[in-house]
Amino acid sequence: MLSLVSKLLMGISLFSIGCATSSLRVNSAPEGAEVSLISRDRTPVKVGKTPLDIDSRNFPELFQDSMQVEVTKEGFSPLSVVVPKLPVGGVGRINLNLQTAELPKVCQNQSESTNVLAKGIADAASLVSRKRLDEASRLLEDLSSKFGTVPVIHDLLGNVYFLQKNLDRALESYRRSNRLNPNNIDTLRMIERIEKVQGRGTAGV
C-alpha cells in the first residue's frame, strides 16, 4: 500500500516561483483526458483536456484550499488526486499514467484505497495548518484504523497529539511508526525528545 502512495505522490510536484498567481499543470498519458476540479463543496468543474494549465486568475476559489483533480478518458480508468493548497505564486504539476479500464477488481480497489489515503492525509494537513487539531486527530485516528501499516499516518497522529500536549499518546504513535519504519530519523528524534521531557516532568513542552 505504501508503495502505491509513494508512486502517487511522486507524480505531484509543488514549488514556488515568487509571483502572485498560483498555477497547476496537469499532464496525462495518453493526452486528451478530461480534467475536472472538485472544490470543498464537492461540485465538479470541467476545466479542459490534458495537457492543461490552470491558474488562480481563472479559478480563484479552487486555489483557496486543497483541491481534488479528477482525470477521465473513455476506455481508461478515471484517476483522482488531491493537491494540497498551493502557496501564493506556487506552481504544481501532476503527471498521471492512465490505465485501460479492464483492470482486475483488486487493482481498482487498491487505486480507490490509495486515493482515500492521499486525500485523508492532505485533509489532515490542512486541518493542522488551520489549528483544528481535534478534527485532525479524529480524521487521522480513522485513517489509522483503515491503513494501520502506513507509518506516515502514525507520525502525523503523533505530531497532532504532541501539539495537543498529549505526550503519552504522541509517544505511542511515534513508537508504532518506528516499529513499521525503524529507519526514520525524525520519528526517532521525536521519541527521544518526548522521553527526555517525561523524564524531567513537563518542562520545555
* pLDDT > 70 fraction of the chain, expressed in percent and rounded: 76
- pTM for this prediction: 0.47
Strands 90-97 and 12-16: antiparallel
Question: Tell me, what CATH number does 158's domain have?
Answer: 1.25.40.10
pLDDT over 80 at 62, yes or no: no
Please write the tens of the pLDDT for every residue from 21-45. 777 888 998 999 999 887 666 677 8
- Per cent of the chain over pLDDT 90 is 28
As a whole number of angstroms, the distance between CA 124 and CA 17 comes to: 26
Residue 203 is placed in which grid cell?
518542562
Q: What angle do CA 136, 55, 79 make, to 5 degrees?
A: 60
Residue 147 belongs to a domain: yes
My answer on whether 29 and 95 are in the same domain is yes
CA distance 15 to 94: 12
Rounded to the nearest integer, the mean pLDDT of the chain is 78
Q: Does the residue 118 lie in any domain?
A: no
> Per residue in 161-205, pLDDT tens?
999 999 999 999 999 999 998 888 999 999 999 999 888 544 333
Residue 76 lies inside a defined structural domain of this protein: yes
| C-beta separation of 50 from 70 below 8 A | no
Domain check: are 150 and 87 in the same one?
no
CATH code (residue 86): 2.60.40
* pLDDT exceeds 70 at position 90: no
